């Protein structure tokens, strides 16, 4: 989905998000959060919208040229790692969204970067041509083995780690469905990896006023001063060590 | 045109934010233009820190939201130290909101807020349904009178009592607050509700019950404003599901001198400014003002007489 904004925006950081809903007020009462996928121009943003429930159905029903309520940019986004640091992206399905901007920025700055892109099957590796076009080194994982590694993306990363294709001291950035993020967080903690998660928390407002997107914090971590962080303001990107996820 | 008064408090606009829908620290006011937001009503602060309820804290319902945030806040000491300095820089009236689990808690909050120069008024959250004890204050006229009276003795600032809709009749509660010295009533808080995931046999919200807000509750809130304003002389601040200028104007006609908008702020952070713009246009077209509309409801429409054949038997 491509949105033309009423006013130009500065450069959106990878992992920052927008709250989207139909501009005519149709659809659910509150908008839904989506990572910015790409910014083809200062006043244009694209999003990956997988139709799941009433919020995404309402967005999908907007005709081309129709109006969209878009509050953007929101959230912290990923801090782009310096070139000296190897970075590994772990994406499941439309969880690839923040990694197009992040990957492009890494390619510009330099430094070893690999995208591990998983889905149930090859056709669910949405828009994978976009990453290929950027020439971002990519490893595919599909549950049915229709493309690349057969199995889930976490198993695929584990395999690459064992084989030494990615370094243990790399920064691992993950985004995707909650089940994948839990599996990845467990794996990364077991292996002692340095990781970041972009969470898909249910949100009411997206800009810090409703307190409905709490993420439990790790008592010993950098956010440990309070039992909950706000996914919309403190996140959606969290260091693994800062949250009890 | 939008100018209004709530007791002694002069406001450039009748639009206020509902407590808990626009943050603690005023940061969200950057989204609204000067003169559109009459006052910022803060999220509830309690004497002691409260972590809030376990997630999920929010679920959508038809035309509404059910929430159980659980008054998450870092407590009075942290609020005074970290947040009040930010509020002091705002160029609009700020209304603090106090919560607590006992009369002593409310007294402590009233005393502390009284000492904060930038607070134009203090709203007492007598009615948040999420906290143990919260419902009891707003459900009993004696409890309302006790807590409002206790706070009255601790502050000279305007004191607003925020009432609950979860009562059989609101008039005795409105009168109790007035008798105890409240300067205004906020009518009303969320409606207690429950959404169930029937497959798991569990509530969807982490805390179980929640408070319903949004357009679904608006007709109830407008009715309660109309009822409360017949029972008291002090001004009323409407609250409950107002989403657009038309909704706000209904509250004014029902008897509200100002109207809090809440859930619509979640939809878009500039909602107040959009509503203010639409209100100016509607009032200009109707050649009227906010002040002229407040309490202008003409309620009774007599039913037609029954035909004589029906009355004969």
- Residue in chain B lying closest to A230 (CA): B72
Question: Which pLDDT value is given to residue B311?
Answer: 57
Token pair for B257: 């001198």
Backbone CA torsion sign across A153, A159, A164, A169? positive
CA B199 to CA B66: how far, in whole Å? 19
Residues B17-73 have pLDDT tens digits of: 999 999 999 999 999 998 999 999 999 999 999 999 999 999 999 999 999 999 999
Locate A237 and state its tokens.
């990107």
Q: Do B120 and B94 contact (CB within 8 A), yes or no?
A: yes
Q: Are B91 and B32 in contact (CB under 8 A)?
A: no
Name the residue in chain B with its Cα closest to that of A55.
B60
Average pLDDT, chain A: 96
Give the pLDDT band (50/70/90) at residue A208. very high
Q: What is the CATH number of domain B4-52+71-190+213-293?
A: 3.20.20.70
Give the pLDDT band of residue B128 (cuts 50, 70, 90). Answer: low
Does the distance separating the beta carbons of A214 and B266 come in below 8 Å? no
**Mean of pLDDT values over A197-222:** 95
Percent pLDDT > 70 in chain B is: 96
Kindly give the pairing relationship between strand A228-230 and strand A214-216: antiparallel
Size of interface A-B (CB pairs under 8 A): 76
Q: Can you tell me the mean pLDDT for B86-96? A: 97
In angstroms, rounded to a whole number, what is the distance separating the alpha carbons of residues B123 and B215? 23
User: Residue B109 above 80 pLDDT?
Assistant: yes
The answer on pLDDT for B135 being more than 90 is no
A31 reaches B (C-beta below 8 A): yes
Interface residue A28 vs chain B (CB under 8 A) = yes
Angle at which helices B218-231 and B245-254 cross, to 10°: 20
Q: Where in chain A is the domain with CATH 3.40.50.80?
A: 87-200
Q: In sequence order, which residues have a C-beta less than 8 Å from that of residue A244 and are 6 or more positions away?
A: A216, A217, A218, A219
CA distances from A238 to A33, A77, A229, A244, B23 (A): 16, 9, 10, 10, 22
What residue has token string 């309402």? Answer: A58
* Cβ–Cβ contact B27 with A under 8 A: yes
Determine the Cα–Cα distance for residues B295 and B256; give it in Å rounded to an integer: 7
Q: Does A6 touch chain B (CB under 8 A)?
A: no
Longest dimension (CA), chain B: 75
Residue A130 has pLDDT above 70, yes or no: yes
For B126, the 3-state DSSP assignment is coil
DSSP classification of residue A141: E
Task: Provide φ and ψ at A99, rounded to 5°.
Answer: -90, -10
Mean pLDDT of all residues in chain B? 94
* CB-based contact, A30 to chain B, within 8 Å: yes
The DSSP annotation for A181-238 comes to HHHHHHHHHHHT-EEEEE-----SSSSSSS---EEEBPTTSTTTTSSEEETTTT-SEE
* Range A87-200 has CATH code 3.40.50.80: yes
CB pair distance less than 8 Å for B23 and A21: no
Query: What is the tens place of the pLDDT at every residue in A28-51?
Result: 999 999 999 999 999 999 999 999
Q: Is the pLDDT assigned to residue B129 strictly greater than 60?
A: no
**Chain A environment of B21 (Cβ under 8 Å):** 209-210
Helix residue ranges, H only, chain B: 75-78, 84-87, 103-114, 134-139, 141-152, 171-179, 218-231, 245-254, 263-267, 271-286, 290-293, 308-312
Q: Give the residue carrying structure tokens 């590796």.
A: A125
Give chain A's largest Cα–Cα span. Answer: 53
**Element (H or E) spanning A152, and its range?**
none
Q: Mind listing the pLDDT tens digit for each residue in B188-229?
A: 999 999 999 999 999 999 999 999 999 999 999 999 999 999
Separation of alpha carbons B139 and B165, rounded Å: 9
Given a cut of 60, whether residue B134 has pLDDT beyond it is no
Taking the CA of residue A227 and the nearest CA in chain B, the distance in Å comes to 6
Residue A182 has pLDDT above 80, yes or no: yes
Residues of A in contact with B22 (CB under 8 A): 209
Question: Looking at the predicted complex, does its ipTM rise above 0.90?
Answer: yes
> What pLDDT, on a 0 to 100 scale, did the predictor assign at position B305?
81
- pTM, full prediction: 0.94
Ordered DSSP codes for A67-102: -EEEEEEES--PPPPPTTS-EEEEEEGGGGHHHHHH
pLDDT tens, position by position, B110-119: 999 999 999 9
The structure tokens listed for B241 are 């599901």
**Among the listed residues A180, A97, A166, A85, the one whose alpha carbon sits nearest the alpha carbon of residue A131:** A97
C-beta separation of A70 from A18 below 8 A: yes
Using the beta-carbon criterion (under 8 Å), do A21 and B267 form an inter-chain contact?
A: yes
The count of other CB atoms within 10 Å of the CB of residue A235 is 25
pLDDT tens per residue across span A46-65: 999 999 999 999 999 999 99
Contacts of B214 in chain A (CB under 8 A): 29
CA distance A16 to chain B (A): 17
Separation in Å, CA A68 to CA A77, B224, B228: 22, 35, 40
Torsion of CA B180, B21, A176, A170, to 10 degrees: -90
pLDDT at B308: 76
Burial of A64 (0-12, 13-18, 19+ CB in 10 A): exposed
pLDDT reading at A128 higher than 70 = yes
B128 given a catalytic annotation? yes
**Is B20 in contact with B266 (CB distance < 8 Å)?**
no
- Going by C-alpha positions, the residue among B219, B255, B249, B287 that lies closest to residue B6 is B255
Which residue in the list B128, B151, B188, B244 is annotated as catalytic?
B128
Of the partner residues A205, A213, A228, the one whose CB lies closest to the CB of residue B265? A205
pLDDT in tens, A148-161: 999 999 999 999 99
Contact B110, B122 (CB under 8 A): yes
Q: Do A205 and B74 touch (CB under 8 A)?
A: no
- B6: enclosing H helix or E strand: strand B4-6
Q: Does A210 touch chain B (CB under 8 A)?
A: yes
Residues A230 and B25: their CA atoms lie apart, in Å, by 15
B267 touches chain A (CB under 8 A): yes
Residue B131 confidence (pLDDT) above 60 = no
DSSP 8-state secondary structure symbol assigned to residue A166: S
Q: What is the pLDDT of residue B304?
A: 79
- What pLDDT does A56 receive? 96
């Amino acid at each position: 989905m491509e949105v033309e904004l009423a006013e130009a925006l500065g450069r959106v950081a990878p992992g920052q998000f927008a709250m989207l809903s139909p501009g005519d007020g149709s659809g659910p009462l509150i908008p839904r959060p989506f990572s910015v996928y790409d910014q083809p121009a200062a006043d244009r943003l694209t999003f990956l919208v997988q139709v799941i429930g009433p919020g995404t159905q309402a967005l999908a029903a907007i005709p081309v040229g129709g109006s969209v309520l878009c509050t953007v940019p929101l959230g912290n986004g990923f801090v782009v790692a310096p070139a000296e640091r190897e970075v590994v992206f772990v994406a499941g399905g439309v969880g690839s969204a923040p990694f197009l901007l992040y990957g492009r920025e890494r390619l510009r700055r330099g430094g070893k970067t690999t995208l591990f892109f998983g889905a149930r099957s090859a056709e669910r590796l949405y828009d994978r041509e976009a990453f290929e076009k950027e020439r971002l080194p990519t490893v595919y994982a599909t549950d049915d083995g229709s493309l690349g590694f057969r199995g889930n993306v976490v198993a695929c990363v584990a395999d690459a780690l064992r084989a030494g294709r990615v370094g243990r001291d790399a920064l691992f950035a993950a985004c995707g469905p909650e089940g994948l993020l839990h599996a990845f967080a467990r794996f990364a903690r077991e292996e002692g990896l340095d990781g970041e998660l972009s969470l898909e928390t249910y949100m009411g407002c997206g800009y810090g006023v409703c307190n409905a997107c709490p993420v439990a914090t790790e008592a010993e971590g950098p956010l440990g001063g309070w039992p909950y962080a706000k996914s919309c303001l403190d996140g959606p990107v969290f260091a693994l060590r800062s949250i009890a996820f | 045109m939008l100018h209004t008064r709530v007791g002694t408090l002069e406001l450039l606009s009748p639009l206020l934010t509902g407590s808990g829908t626009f943050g603690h620290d005023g940061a969200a006011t950057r989204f609204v233009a000067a003169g559109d937001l009459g006052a910022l009503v803060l999220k509830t602060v309690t004497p002691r820190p409260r972590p809030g309820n376990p997630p999920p804290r929010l679920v959508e319902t038809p035309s509404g939201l059910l929430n159980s945030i659980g008054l998450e806040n870092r407590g009075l000491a942290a609020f005074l130290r970290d947040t009040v300095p930010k509020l002091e820089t705002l160029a609009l009236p700020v209304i603090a909101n106090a919560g607590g689990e006992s009369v002593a808690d409310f007294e402590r909050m009233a005393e502390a807020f009284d000492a904060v120069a930038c607070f134009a008024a203090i709203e007492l959250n007598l009615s948040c349904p999420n906290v143990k004890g919260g419902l009891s204050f707003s459900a009993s006229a004696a409890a309302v009178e006790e807590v409002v009276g206790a706070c009255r003795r601790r502050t000279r600032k305007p004191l607003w009592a925020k009432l609950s809709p979860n009562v059989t009749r609101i008039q005795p509660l409105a009168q109790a607050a007035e008798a105890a010295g409240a300067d205004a009533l906020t009518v009303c808080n969320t409606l207690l509700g429950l959404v169930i995931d029937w497959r798991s046999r569990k509530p969807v919200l982490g805390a179980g019950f929640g408070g319903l807000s949004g357009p679904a509750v608006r007709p109830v809130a407008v009715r309660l404003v109309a009822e409360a304003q017949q029972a008291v002389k002090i001004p009323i601040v409407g609250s409950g599901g107002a989403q657009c200028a038309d909704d706000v104007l209904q509250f004014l006609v029902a008897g509200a001198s100002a109207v809090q908008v809440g859930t619509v702020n979640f939809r878009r952070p500039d909602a107040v400014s959009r509503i203010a713009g639409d209100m100016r246009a509607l009032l200009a077209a109707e050649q009227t003002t906010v002040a002229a509309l407040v309490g202008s409801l003409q309620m009774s429409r007599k039913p037609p007489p029954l035909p004589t054949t029906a009355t004969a038997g």
